Structure 1
């Protein structure tokens, strides 16, 4: 039987730890734009402090972006997206606050009175997963509503 020196054993264990640490587990909320258009995205969610809406992320055609980093804090997230190239938007029944430029808005009540716009958001059920990727498509079921 071959005997391995303690120094070589320590180096092998250190290398194994470094390799294991090089591939961390990701837990994020991501959005992938599977359309051929540039898209602007806003999200809404409820956390320990209440409702928040955030935007805008600009997604290139067939591109993906991380919207929130870390383990998801909620089961349901809400999305409003705008097709910059063809017009139209992805909307839903949940009304939340937005604005035309980059924003983080606390609360979803009295949007207009507080100087914000109102927009419809569609619901995404993550099933309480730690991470989730939303696929934004232009096919039936997730297609933008054209004016």
Structure 2
């Protein structure tokens, strides 16, 4: 009986505490997608990546309350073909990366990608659903 009460307490605590994930990206396609994130911090634009998100899965990209209204996402398939692109040019790299600034990507050893602006409407939590290439 004690085990039953302990299990119920764990479920109750889990239900009353919000999840730590504050920016979640969900892949609603049938392919694995690689996602990178752009945002402004202390007046400078920066990008980081990659998060690999399996088909019909979600990934926690930011695990704290969102500080900015706008975030920027770029996603590509496993063949490096864009499946989510916008018009905000920034740098990405082949492997895991953290890049400050958007200028001269090639000169600095990176490549250019066009990020899509995501308006979180100043919410602390936001979820983005990606459908992939149709």
TM range (shorter): 0.7 to 0.9
Q: Which runs of 4+ in 1 moved over 4 A?
A: 19-22, 85-88
* Greater percentage in strand: 2
Cα gap change, 1:36/1:68 in structure 2, threshold over 3 Å: closer, same or farther? same
1:47 maps to which residue? 41
Q: Using structure 1 for the length normalisation, give the TM-score.
A: 0.75
Question: In the alignment, what sits opposite 2:65?
Answer: 71
For the 8 Å contact 1:75–1:125, the answer to whether it is kept is yes
Distance 1:91 1:114, change over 3 A: same
Aligned to 1:128: 122
RMSD between superposed Cα atoms in Å: 2.5
Tell me if 1:23 matches 2:1. no
Deviations 1:62-94 (A, max 9, x none): 000000110101111111101227954311110
Q: Which runs of 5+ in 2 are unaligned?
A: 1-8
1:31–1:24 Cα change, 3 Å: same
Q: What is the Cα deviation at residue 124 of structure 1?
A: 0.6
Using the TM superposition, give the Cα deviation of residue 113 of structure 1 relative to its aligned residue in structure 2, in angstroms.
1.6
In the TM superposition, 1:49-128 aligns within 5 A as 50-84=44-78, 87-128=81-122
Is the Cα contact below 8 Å between 1:54 and 1:104 reproduced in 2?
yes
State how many pairs are aligned: 125
